A and B are shown apart, each in its own frame.
Chain A
Amino acid sequence: MKYAIETFDLTKKYKDFTAVNSINFKIPKSSIFGMLGPNGAGKTTTIKMLTCLAQPTSGTAKVEGYDVKDNPNEVREKIGMVPQAVSLYKDLTVEENAELCSDYYGIPEDEKFDRINDLMELVDIKYAKDKRVGQLSGGQKQKASLVASLVHRPDILFLDEPTIGLDPTTKRVLWNLIQDLNDSGHTIILCSHDMHEVDMLCDNVGIISTGNMVAYNTPQGLKDDLLSEQKKEHEKYIQNVLGKIQEESPEKLSASEINNISSNGNVSYLKKMSFLLENSNEDIINSLKNIQQVHSVDIAKNGRVNLKIEGFDDNIVNDVIKTIISKNGKISSISTEEPSLEDVFINVTSEVDEDARA
């Protein structure tokens, strides 16, 4: 069995509203899968169906080879979940909550406390084991929730917004923990709105929008897809514009005119590069504009010079730097920017949104 999770036309309807619309995807074993989507897109409903907390209306899913409809108890044995809202009993201590979960999973009495102790040490919450969950900080609560969710040694761990509201240091601790758990063989399903978190941790990412799985790839694959898609759109746009102009005026346009049209067109797919110059002047800006691959030059309020460039390779970076130096420009800082997962997310979900409105 290659996949930890496989869905087959998984659908959930609430009366006339379709929360999840016949989605199909596979999550390889021992991978980290990021599930993205706008609020109300169907992520939580999908997770509920995969964790047997909601019955699919039609279709089904297999979790570690067990069907969520036919073998829910076997599925429950295989999964653990850390929900967004801490679902532990607030009046019980960290250890008592873990003990309660152990007994609900039927962990033998002689193993129970060893497992709980090991887990509390692993997530570094043992020092607060006798504290009531209601008295813990956000990060401590998530750690306590992890202990309770892992006590039965599940193969798959679902994490729903595990770092929401946590400070950056605690976030990093949890990210390390997630990575460690994955390294030890756990399949992790991470539901999050933190694109950086998903980009950094996940092997594969699925984007759900209006109940449909609208994108599925590796984080880099999604970004490359976006770039190539936008490039195609851009080329299509340019061809359309040029076609219209040539229809109206039979004489051919010069290369510089074509360049001018394309640089004024939709250039959102282009990669970005920016500088902070100590002695920015008009001469430098005009020289940068004359470089063929540079499509636009803007100066931000903070003085930063932003360039949009096609075909991002070492040569163009060299050309830009050489041009600035030749005009006696002094560079304080330089940065380049590729499309982010956030760009992918906004692009994909806004397309779906536009389709839905249409």
Chain B
Amino acid sequence: MIEFKKLKWMVKKEWLSLRRHPGRLVSIIAFPIIMILLFGYGMGGDLSNLPVVVVSQDHGNLTDLTLDTIKTTDVYHVVNITTSTSDAKAMVDSGQVKAAIILPPNYDSSDGEQKTATLYLDSSDQMGSQVLIPATQGIFNQLSIKQAMSQQAALSSSSNATATNTSVITEDADTSGSLSASLDSAKSTINLQINKIYGNIKYMDFLVPAILGMTIMMSCMMGMGASIAGERETGELARLFMTPTSVATVIGGKIIGKLSVEMFRAIILLIAAIVLFSVTIKGGIIPTLILLFIGALCFVGFGIMLSARTSTQEDYSQLVMPFSMPMMFVSGVFYPIETMPWILQKLAYIFPLTYLNDAMRAVMIQGQSLGDVWLDIVVLLGFTLIFFVVGVLRFNRDV
């Protein structure tokens, strides 16, 4: 009963502090929303309407078809159609447009020679380049197929007809050298059908579960610094340790107090994700909250382990940064772990956030149950156990 009262006070203290500092409460609510907005709109969106200029030096059906296709593709925003290659290149060089799509002078001729379209590209914009190259290659592939098919049809009616090929080369505006190989005209009629087993997943859908995990990780680890090292520095912890109270009760109280606030934050995060980005949680809100709870417990434990012997909040901040920053970037929050270099992939598996992200994505995107992600949960609980045992053993009651 006495121990319960002590634990209750730590929870009460956390909430009274929050209530009496409306600024902090706003931060608790606003921070997750800002994170979601920042990463959602900043990183989760698709690139489109990239400004381009088209150089059209010929007339005919193929030219018209090509121009129509480029104009109607979302990726491009056609700023100008010109006949001057040098003018178009100047526009790219000056940064007015991201690329010039240069159709050759013989583009519409039917002499059977290979036609080479050029993508004169501002490769200093890496993100834009990554979108423009495949989009342009895709358009000319399609056009080549169409051209080949129509010529095939013509060939069958007239044996004198000659096949025509089109290809595109990519020319880097910075180096003005040809970078990518010419594309051979496509002759294949094999069609690739893509079955997306989890539906049409946007980057935002991939991002939100991990942003939730990362936000909980950051606030738990930083919060425990203020709660233990900060109170050790300002003397409140000494006041508690002057009473006949065990280390376990003091730490337990801190944990429960912190978890109650973090779960409130998690709920706000989920609501923000649902309202702002129409994120659907396929596995259900309760399993998602349970996962966030386990994650919060794990990171609070991590915070206790690190703060067990630190005497000031500044020391703690310095100590926690080498763990929190790599964890943020290596644990697959922004990019799938599989796309990272092998050494980072190995590193990712020693961070608990990796397992939380994996479980969160499985539940939120794939609709899996907690039973399906048991391995992630077991690993997280294992980490939690280690952190708490080490934290309590290392905890220095001397203040």
Give chain B residues whose Cβ lies under 8 Å from the Cβ of A52: 241-242
A106–B2 CA distance with the chains assembled, in angstroms: 6
A91–B21 CA distance with the chains assembled, in angstroms: 8
B398 adjacent to A87 (CB under 8 Å) = no
* Cβ of A156 to closest chain B Cβ, rounded Å: 12
* Cβ of B97 to closest chain A Cβ, rounded Å: 57
A53–B238 CA distance with the chains assembled, in angstroms: 7
Cβ 8 A contact of B20, one of A79, A83, A100, A132: A132
B9 adjacent to A104 (CB under 8 Å) = yes
Give chain A residues whose Cβ lies under 8 Å from the Cβ of B394: none
- Looking at chain B's contact residues, the main secondary structure is helix
* Interface residues as binary, B1-43 with A (CB distance below 8 Å gives 1, 0 otherwise): 0100110110001001100110000000000000000000000
Answer yes or no: A48 CB below 8 A from chain B CBs: yes
Q: Which partner residue on chain A sits nearest B4 by CB separation?
A: A103
- Given the known interface contacts A73-B244, A103-B5, the answer about A88 and B16 at a Cβ–Cβ threshold of 8 Å is no
Answer yes or no: B234 CB below 8 A from chain A CBs: yes
* Cβ of A4 to closest chain B Cβ, rounded Å: 17
Tell me the residues in window 224-241 of chain B with beta carbons closer than 8 Å to chain A beta carbons.
Answer: 234-236, 238-241
Give chain A residues whose Cβ lies under 8 Å from the Cβ of B195: none
B236 adjacent to A88 (CB under 8 Å) = yes
A48 adjacent to B236 (CB under 8 Å) = no
* Cβ of B59 to closest chain A Cβ, rounded Å: 77
Give chain B residues whose Cβ lies under 8 Å from the Cβ of A72: 244
B236 adjacent to A81 (CB under 8 Å) = no
Centre residue among A79, A80, A91 by max chain B CB count within 10 A: A91
A54–B243 CA distance with the chains assembled, in angstroms: 14
B235 adjacent to A85 (CB under 8 Å) = yes
Give chain A residues whose Cβ lies under 8 Å from the Cβ of B8: 103
A53 adjacent to B244 (CB under 8 Å) = no
Give chain B residues whose Cβ lies under 8 Å from the Cβ of A104: 6, 9, 240, 243-245
Answer yes or no: B319 CB below 8 A from chain A CBs: no
A148–B13 CA distance with the chains assembled, in angstroms: 16
Q: Which partner residue on chain A sits nearest B398 by CB separation?
A: A54
A83–B235 CA distance with the chains assembled, in angstroms: 8
Give chain B residues whose Cβ lies under 8 Å from the Cβ of A106: 2, 244
B244 adjacent to A105 (CB under 8 Å) = yes
Interface residues in A, total, Cβ within 8 A: 32
A257–B6 CA distance with the chains assembled, in angstroms: 78
Tell me the residues in window 32-85 of chain A with beta carbons closer than 8 Å to chain B beta carbons.
Answer: 48, 51-55, 72-74, 76-77, 79-81, 83, 85
Give chain B residues whose Cβ lies under 8 Å from the Cβ of A148: 239
Answer yes or no: A96 CB below 8 A from chain B CBs: yes
* Cβ of A102 to closest chain B Cβ, rounded Å: 9
Answer yes or no: B271 CB below 8 A from chain A CBs: no
Give chain B residues whose Cβ lies under 8 Å from the Cβ of A91: 13, 16-17, 20-21
Answer yes or no: B399 CB below 8 A from chain A CBs: yes
Answer yes or no: A92 CB below 8 A from chain B CBs: yes
Answer yes or no: A8 CB below 8 A from chain B CBs: no
Tell me the residues in window 301-339 of chain B with beta carbons closer than 8 Å to chain A beta carbons.
Answer: none
A76–B246 CA distance with the chains assembled, in angstroms: 12
B234 adjacent to A85 (CB under 8 Å) = yes
A96 adjacent to B16 (CB under 8 Å) = yes
A74–B243 CA distance with the chains assembled, in angstroms: 10
- Given the known interface contacts A48-B399, A53-B399, A88-B236, the answer about A81 and B17 at a Cβ–Cβ threshold of 8 Å is no
B241 adjacent to A53 (CB under 8 Å) = yes
Chain B interface residue count: which class?
A: 20 to 34
Give chain A residues whose Cβ lies under 8 Å from the Cβ of B241: 52-53
Give chain A residues whose Cβ lies under 8 Å from the Cβ of B399: 48, 53-54
A100–B5 CA distance with the chains assembled, in angstroms: 9
Q: Which partner residue on chain A sits nearest B241 by CB separation?
A: A53
A207–B106 CA distance with the chains assembled, in angstroms: 103
Give chain B residues whose Cβ lies under 8 Å from the Cβ of A89: 13, 17, 236
Q: Which partner residue on chain B sits nearest A77 by CB separation?
A: B244
Q: Which partner residue on chain B sits nearest A106 by CB separation?
A: B2
Tell me the residues in window 216-263 of chain A with beta carbons closer than 8 Å to chain B beta carbons.
Answer: none
B398 adjacent to A48 (CB under 8 Å) = yes
Q: Which partner residue on chain B sits nearest A55 by CB separation?
A: B398
Answer yes or no: A174 CB below 8 A from chain B CBs: no
Give chain B residues whose Cβ lies under 8 Å from the Cβ of A81: 242
A81–B234 CA distance with the chains assembled, in angstroms: 15
B242 adjacent to A51 (CB under 8 Å) = yes
B238 adjacent to A83 (CB under 8 Å) = yes
Give chain A residues whose Cβ lies under 8 Å from the Cβ of B398: 48, 53-55
Cβ 8 A contact of B16, one of A53, A92, A103, A105: A92
- Given the known interface contacts A89-B13, A91-B16, the answer about A101 and B236 at a Cβ–Cβ threshold of 8 Å is no
Centre residue among B8, B239, B240, B241 by max chain A CB count within 10 A: B239
Centre residue among B17, B20, B235, B243 by max chain A CB count within 10 A: B243
Give chain B residues whose Cβ lies under 8 Å from the Cβ of A77: 244
Give chain A residues whose Cβ lies under 8 Å from the Cβ of B235: 83, 85-87
Give chain A residues whose Cβ lies under 8 Å from the Cβ of B6: 103-104
Give chain A residues whose Cβ lies under 8 Å from the Cβ of B21: 91
A77–B242 CA distance with the chains assembled, in angstroms: 9
A87–B2 CA distance with the chains assembled, in angstroms: 22
Centre residue among A52, A72, A89, A132 by max chain B CB count within 10 A: A89
- Given the known interface contacts A87-B236, A91-B21, A92-B13, the answer about A79 and B244 at a Cβ–Cβ threshold of 8 Å is no
Q: Which partner residue on chain B sits nearest A80 by CB separation?
A: B242
A103 adjacent to B9 (CB under 8 Å) = yes
* Cβ of A298 to closest chain B Cβ, rounded Å: 48
Give chain A residues whose Cβ lies under 8 Å from the Cβ of B17: 89, 91-92
Q: Which partner residue on chain B sits nearest A12 by CB separation?
A: B398
Tell me the residues in window 260-293 of chain B with beta carbons closer than 8 Å to chain A beta carbons.
Answer: none
A103–B249 CA distance with the chains assembled, in angstroms: 13
Give chain A residues whose Cβ lies under 8 Å from the Cβ of B2: 103, 106
A103–B10 CA distance with the chains assembled, in angstroms: 11
Q: List 8 A-B contacts (CB under 8 A).
A: A48-B399, A53-B399, A55-B398, A76-B243, A83-B235, A83-B238, A104-B6, A104-B240
What 3 pairs between A and B have smallest CB-CB spacing?
Answer: A87-B235, A104-B243, A73-B244
Given A51-B242, A53-B397, 15 new contacts (CB under 8 A): A53-B241, A53-B398, A53-B399, A74-B244, A77-B244, A85-B235, A87-B234, A87-B235, A91-B13, A91-B20, A92-B13, A103-B5, A103-B8, A104-B6, A104-B244
Interface residues of B (CB under 8 A from A): 2, 5-6, 8-9, 13, 16-17, 20-21, 234-236, 238-245, 397-399
